[in-house]
Amino acid sequence: MEQQDNWKAKTLILGALLGAITGITAAYILVNQAEEIQEKPKLSPGQGVKLGLGVLGLLRLISDSAQEK
């Protein structure tokens, strides 16, 4: 029983670390692009929707791949 909980905790921790690394990398890219054009980063509503749909698509891909055996 303890081993079952162990893999769950490891999976959650790994997911959190990968999410944090991905978020930091995305923010770093955004900051670098803003510095190149010497302007604050802007996110329009349309870009926000595209970003949100991209994240949902990624989550769906992960969910679908986990269900395939």
Q: What pLDDT score does 3 carry?
A: 63
pTM here is: 0.69
Above 60 in pLDDT, residue 1? no
Q: How far apart are the first and last CA of the chain?
A: 23
CA dist., res. 40 & res. 6, Å (int): 44
Percent of all residues in the chain with a pLDDT value above 70, rounded to a whole number: 91
